[in-house]
Amino acid sequence: MSSINEILAIGKGGMAVSKALLAVAGKNMANVNTPGYSKEYLTLSTSQFAGLGVNVNGPLGIRNPILSDSLRNVLGNQGFFNGQLLPLLSIEPNVNDLDGNGIGKALSEFKSTMQEAMANPGSETHRSAIITAADFLVQSFNSTSKQLTETAEKTREQAEKVALTINTIAQNLAELNSKIAVLAHGKEPPNALLDQREQLLQKLSSLISIDTLDVGDGTVSVFIAGGRPLVDHALASTVTINPPNPAPGTPVGIEIIKPSGQVMNAIGKIGGALGGMLVAHNDVIIPGLTDLDEIAFELTTQFNAIHAGGVGTDGSTGNNFFKALNAVGGSASLIALSDVIKDDPKKFAAAAVGGTLPGDNTNLELLLSMPEQIGVLSSGKSIEDGWFDIQIHFGNALGTAQTGSDIESATVNQLANLLASETAVSIDEELILMNQANQSFDAAGALIRAAEEMSATLINLVG
């Protein structure tokens, strides 16, 4: 049987618990809009000692490691597709004939002027039109090449900035690990630090795909690029883009430098925005640029070969139509009309050697069919089909990135909603808790008053 003092102690304990509940409800409501905040709660249990009322543990934060891990994985996938979107979206207008511009349209106009000249090859007007259209074609090649090269360069620069952000986050995670390890075995878990760390992990995973390992001492190790350590306890590695300052068109990768100075290469998927940018740079833009260079080179070389074999209306032969190019690399940026053609339309070789000038269109016919000639490119395709393939190459990459981004965004939303449902604050719940705390506080007060009255009655009996 409990003594009056024990009853008073129970009442006091009940009031303390009510105050603690009110404080937790208040903190939860105050942080209802704090990003990444996990709802805190107290665990209450009956005291093991008879008559001593209630035990309180906490506050603890609501966490769901499985959902958090899934969200981070999906954020990595979403970042991967989003990382490709920006560079590819900026390129698309340059490789899209559907908008009525671009190399395909310029090539078509060039062919149109030649087709028209087929019926009047001696006409200076038609010859000038061919040269004007050819000039527009080479400018289209030049500007498309410039746009692709600049976008590749900007993508690489952006990847370098993302690597710097990754390094800052890794450093912050290492510092948080260190603080959490110290507080992990204290009376109250470091909820705010744990929330901060989870938020940083989510931000990091959108920049680069990560795997995490809860080491057990309160720290979390982070691995990237197929198992390379980024954060290990209180130590952080750094990520760099390699090679630094490469020549335009050079593929780039990442290097992971451990705190010891040991340098490691990626051995698996990089993922996240950084991985997306590297894919856009290495697998989409640079191959597209290489293909464009080959088209410009073969157009120049093959067209020149046919042209040099023909005769201009002034009787000249052996002239190049385009300035000769020495190598495939950079051809799209270098392709230009030869000065001799630019200055004198009479030198356009529509006629065959030995033909009858100026109405001979036999060489012009060969020139006209050259862009359609199969087998000109290393892929076995024609110049026209090669350009078509480039449009499809970029369209496919961008379409895949857009679809991927949409799908992953939907999954991110779904997981974020599940996580918010489980770990975030519900004002209604907190209000109910507040009322419960208020009522239990009143009840504890009533218990103390009753015990005091009983105590007074007993004292009076004695008196």
Q: How many residues bind another protein (CB under 8 A)?
A: 59
- What distance in Å separates the CA atoms of residue 184 and residue 340, rounded to the nearest whole number? 80
96 is an interface residue for another protein by CB under 8 A: yes
Site for another protein in 11-40 (CB under 8 A): 32-33, 39
69 is written with which tokens? 């891990």
118 is written with which tokens? 């087929």
108 is an interface residue for another protein by CB under 8 A: yes
Comparing CA positions, the residue from 87, 113, 10, 16 lying closest to residue 53 is 10
Q: Measure the CA dihedral 366/367/368/370, to 10°.
A: 80
Choose one: 90-98, 215-223, 279-287, 293-301; the region binding another protein (CB under 8 A): 90-98
**Binds another protein (CB under 8 A): choice among 120, 165, 167, 455:** 120
**Binds another protein (CB under 8 A): choice among 172, 402, 411, 455:** 402
Query: Is residue 328 within 8 Å of 338, Cβ to Cβ?
Result: no
CA angle, corner 264, sides to 262 and 266, nearest 5?
160
196 is an interface residue for another protein by CB under 8 A: no
Query: Is residue 79 within 8 Å of 33, Cβ to Cβ?
Result: no
116 is an interface residue for another protein by CB under 8 A: yes
Choose one: 155-163, 226-234, 276-284, 393-401; the region binding another protein (CB under 8 A): 393-401
Q: Which is nearer to another protein, 155 or 320 (CB)?
A: 155
Nearest approach, Cβ of 393 to another protein (angstroms)?
A: 9
Beta bridge partners of 212: 222
Site for another protein in 408-447 (CB under 8 A): 413, 416-417, 420-422, 424-429, 431-432, 434-435
Nearest approach, Cβ of 225 to another protein (angstroms)?
A: 28
Nearest approach, Cβ of 65 to another protein (angstroms)?
A: 18
**Binds another protein (CB under 8 A): choice among 92, 135, 160, 175:** 92
In the stretch 229-268, what mask flags binding to another protein with x, by CB under 8 A?
A: ----------------------------------------
CA 341 to chain centre: 47
- What distance in Å separates the CA atoms of residue 410 and residue 391, rounded to the nearest whole number? 28
Whether the ω angle into residue 358 lies within 30 degrees of 0, i.e. cis, is yes
Side chain identity, residue 25: A
Nearest approach, Cβ of 459 to another protein (angstroms)?
A: 42
Query: Is residue 398 within 8 Å of 406, Cβ to Cβ?
Result: no
Instruction: Name the helix (H) or strand (E) containing 212.
Output: strand 210-214
Nearest approach, Cβ of 383 to another protein (angstroms)?
A: 13
Nearest approach, Cβ of 353 to another protein (angstroms)?
A: 13
Please give the C-alpha separations between residue 344 and each of 51, 85, 131, 378, 406, in angstroms, as whole numbers. Answer: 111, 45, 9, 33, 55
Pairing of strands 310-311, 351-352: antiparallel
Whether the ω angle into residue 243 lies within 30 degrees of 0, i.e. cis, is yes
- What distance in Å separates the CA atoms of residue 395 and residue 138, rounded to the nearest whole number? 23
Nearest approach, Cβ of 314 to another protein (angstroms)?
A: 12
Q: Which is nearer to another protein, 250 or 435 (CB)?
A: 435
Residues at the contact surface with another protein, assessed by CB under 8 A: 32-33, 39, 88, 92-93, 96-99, 104, 108, 111-112, 115-116, 118-123, 125, 351, 355-361, 365, 384, 388, 391-392, 394-399, 402, 413, 416-417, 420-422, 424-429, 431-432, 434-435
